[in-house]
Amino acid sequence: MFEISKPRRLTFKTVATLSLASLLAVPQVFAQSYPNRTIKLIAPYPAGGGVDSVARLLGEKLSARLNQAIVVDNKPGAAGTIGADALAKSPADGYTLMLGSITDYAIAPHVHKSLGFDLRKDFAPIAELGYGTVVLVVNADFAARNVKELIAMAKAKPGELSFASSGLGGLQHLNGEMFKQMAGVDLVHVPYKGSTQLLPDLLAGRVPMAFDSLPPHLPHIKSGKVRALAVASATRSNAIPDVPTMAEAGITGYESATNYTLFAPAGTSKDIVSMLNKEVNLILKTPEVREKLSSLGITITGGTVDSVEKRIPAEIDKWNRVVKNGNLKFE
C-alpha cells in the first residue's frame, strides 16, 4: 500500500521568484534570437550625402557581423525630421534603426511646433559613430578668398549674399545663422532638401556658399570646383589640412560639427541595444572603417550608450540660444 503525496503548495515567495525568473529570461531569449529577419536602417537625408554614405558603410559592416540583411531606407526632408518621425512610429523590436544626428534632433524642438517626436522620449540612442567636419564652402568663382573678405563683402552688401542649407531649421541652416550672429552680417537663407540637392546650384554659382558637412563637397574641393574657406571644428581636418579653422580665420568660438548616431525606437530591449552598441564599437575599430570615415572628414568616437545620452541636454541648450538670439521664426 502506498500513499499518494499531496501536491506541494506554492508560496507567494515561490510564485514571485518563478515569475521574476521568467520575465528576466524573456529579453535574454529574445536578444539571442535577434536578428532573424531583415533590418531597415533609415537614413533621413538623400542618397549621396554624408549621412547616406556613413549609413551604407555601417549597414554593410553590421550586416556581415549580424549575418542578416540590412536595407538602407532614405527618407529625406524637413532637415531630417521626416525620417526621425518614421523611426519614432516604428515598432520597438530592433528591426527599424536610424543613423541620424543628435544635433539635428536637438535643434528640431525649437523649429517645429508640431514635431511628431521627442529626442529624449522617443529615441533609444545606441552608439555615436563620430562627428563630421562642417565646412564653409563657396563657389569657385566667388570673389572672397577667405573669411575676412567674405565678411567685408557681406557688410558692404547686406541682404544680398545668400547661403544654401540642407533644409529649414537643420544644422546647416543654424550654422549659417550662428555665423551671421557672430560675424555681424546679413545673409539670405536658401533651403534645399539635402546637400545633394544644393550642390548643382552651388557649383553653378546660383547660390554662393554653404555651411555644410564636408563629405558631399570633398570631391569638388579637391577638383577645384568649389573652395573651402574654413572648417568649424576646434582643430583642422585631416581631410583638408590646409584649410583654417573658423577661429584661425577670425571667428573665435565658432564651433559646430555634424553627428552620426545610431538610434532605435524608445522601448527597444536593452539587451538588443547593448548588443548593437558592442557590434558598432567593434566595427569602428577595424582599419578599413577607420580609414574610410577619416577620408570623409569624420572623427570616430564610439563609446557607451550613456555617453551618447549625456550629450543631448548640452546640444539642446546650445542651439536654443542660436534660435533665440536670432529671433528665428520657422512658420
Domain ranges of the chain: 32-131+258-325, 133-231
Grid cell listed for 78 = 524637413
Determine the pLDDT at residue 32.
63
How does DSSP classify residue 244? P
Q: Do domains 32-131+258-325 and 133-231 have the same CATH topology?
A: yes
How does DSSP classify residue 250? T
Q: How far is CA 160 from CA 135, 187, 200, 274, in A?
A: 21, 7, 20, 51
pTM of the model: 0.77
Determine the pLDDT at residue 215.
84
Please report how many Cα atoms fall inside a 13 Å half-sphere around the Cα of residue 18, on the Cβ side: 6
Grid cell listed for 230 = 574654413
Taking the domain 133-231, which CATH number applies? 3.40.190.10
Residue whose C-alpha is closest to residue 215's, from 194, 192, 234, 201? 194
How does DSSP classify residue 269? -
The packing angle between helices 50-66 and 270-284, to 10°, is 110
Q: How many residues does the chain have?
A: 331
Query: Going by C-beta distance under 8 Å and a sequence separation of 6 or more, which residues neighbour residue 68?
Result: 35, 36, 37, 38, 39
Secondary-structure class of domain 32-131+258-325 per CATH: alpha beta
- Return averaged pLDDT per consecutive 10 residues of the chain, 331 residues in all: 42 50 48 88 90 95 98 90 96 98 88 87 96 95 98 97 89 95 97 89 97 92 97 92 97 94 98 98 97 89 95 90 88 63
By three-state DSSP, how is residue 233 classified? coil
Determine the pLDDT at residue 331.
63
Alpha-carbon distance of 264 to 95, in angstroms, equals: 9
Contact 135, 120 (CB under 8 A): no
Determine the pLDDT at residue 27.
46
